[in-house]
Amino acid sequence: MLEIIHAEINQYIERQYEEKDALLREMEAYGQKARFPFVGPQVGKLLFLLTKLLKAKKIFEMGSGYGYSAYWFAKGMEDSGKVYQTEGSHENSAKAREFFKKGRIETKSEFLVGDGLQLIDQVPGDFDIVFLDLDKEDYPIAFEKASPRIRQGGMLIADNTLWSGKVLDSHPDLETQGIQKFTRMLFSDQRFSSAILPIRDGVALGYKL
């Protein structure tokens, strides 16, 4: 496993991000205890800022877990905004609803249980942001489904695009192959102008031109 950011630099950054929202701190403690792979505060804050910058009102997430990343999106949106969470596990989705209720922002989310790759077809219209954080081997198909559904001036965001450095493997496993293929698709797609930020496990951004 390759260290993407030097551990001490990472700690330095995290010290600046001390979270004041008690519910987010509770969600972080829950994720750490359950050893659940949530995006964490550095990526969470980035999602919040991008939501604000794009003035996003409609966001679709593929792979929402217990709602941590969605909570940051929801915090960045006005009251009329909506984040469509999709999650394969009923239990995770129920936990997300519970956290959103506790944070009194449940009206800013839909909690859809099932396959995010299919569920996107059930929500009409374009999105300001689509966030990919589902099974990594599905990133290429997720890109195919999501890319036409993002408005001009909107953004595709994908987590884990450096995959603990495994993207450098000469014999990559299926998950790594999914990330590598997705990255080639994103960067060669003329509809998008793209970047990878080496924050935590690598966040890819595709701005729809």
Ligand X SMILES: C[S@@+](CC[C@H](N)C(=O)[O-])C[C@H]1O[C@@H](n2cnc3c(N)ncnc32)[C@H](O)[C@@H]1O
Instruction: Pick out residues in 42-71 that bind ligand X (CB under 6 A).
Output: 62-65, 68-69
90 binds ligand X (CB under 6 A): no
Rounded least distance, CB 170 to ligand X, Å: 26
Select the residue interacting with ligand X from 38, 100, 111, 143 (CB under 6 A): 38
Rounded least distance, CB 66 to ligand X, Å: 7
Cα separations (Å) of 41 from 13, 16, 21, 131, 178? Answer: 10, 10, 11, 16, 25
Judge whether 158 and 145 are in contact, CB under 8 Å.
no
The DSSP letter of residue 109 is E
Select the residue interacting with ligand X from 19, 28, 115, 189 (CB under 6 A): 115
123 binds ligand X (CB under 6 A): no
Rounded least distance, CB 38 to ligand X, Å: 4
The DSSP letter of residue 164 is G
Select the residue interacting with ligand X from 109, 133, 146, 176 (CB under 6 A): 133
| DSSP SS3 for 189 | coil
Select the residue interacting with ligand X from 87, 127, 136, 203 (CB under 6 A): 87
The set of residues, in sequence order, having a beta carbon less than 8 Å from that of 114 and lying 6+ positions away, is 86, 88
The DSSP letter of residue 113 is E
Structure tokens at 43: 């990526």
Nearest to 202 by CA among 174, 156, 160: 160
Contact stretch for ligand X (CB under 6 A) within 102-110, 134-142, 146-154, 172-180: 134-142
Binding-site ranges for ligand X (CB under 6 A): 37-39, 62-65, 68-69, 86-89, 92, 115-117, 133-135, 138
